[in-house]
Amino acid sequence: MPAAAPQTFLGITAVPGPRIVLHPSFALFPHELKARFPQPHKVRVTAQSSLLLAGDVTVDCLSLAGSLQLSAPPGVAVVVNTGQGEVVNDGHELLPLDQLKDDVSEVDRMRGYRIVCREMRAVSAEPTGPAEVVFTGRAGGSSGLIPLTHFDPDEEPQLDLQPQSSFLCAPFSIFTRNCT
């Protein structure tokens, strides 16, 4: 994957990487993190992407260029397998403070930028649904979740690119607010 272009905030130039947020319900310890990514060589996340994970989510295969939030409620396991497909959307953008017209919060002033959510794919398994589901990004409902018993990894991926699969969102959230 190509690196992101260097950006300068508060006089400091750096090459930003992907923003990956792991909720404590996803993993706390290195051995848990290793178990959540059993095939790390099959996970591709661009430098401009944001990935937010919560709950019993196992990432088998993922190609992400944008922003994706996956969460599993207690008692439900989600397996991520996008196959040869890719989850693509406008994601999040880091905006320097001089590009902002409105009031700037103290946190933004300390960072030197604001994280602005342009578009995010948010998928949450239903607590009353199947105990194990697979997120494929394929057609099959706006969530892209299908029961594990119906998952065929050899099926040609048909990505679900319907408008309801992604949404425009408010400022970046870390599982405390939903992007709306």
Over residues 95-130, the pLDDT tens digits come to: 888 887 778 888 888 888 888 889 888 888 877 766
Report whether pLDDT(151) > 50: no
Cβ neighbours around 130 below 10 Å, total: 16
How much is the pLDDT for 49?
A: 93
How much is the pLDDT for 41?
A: 94
Q: Tell me the pTM.
A: 0.74
Mean pLDDT of the chain: 75
More confident residue, 131 or 7: 7
Give residue-wise pLDDT tens across range 76-94: 888 888 888 888 899 998 8
β-pairing, 145-147 with 132-135?
antiparallel
Measure the CA–CA gap between 123 and 26, rounded to whole angstroms. Answer: 15
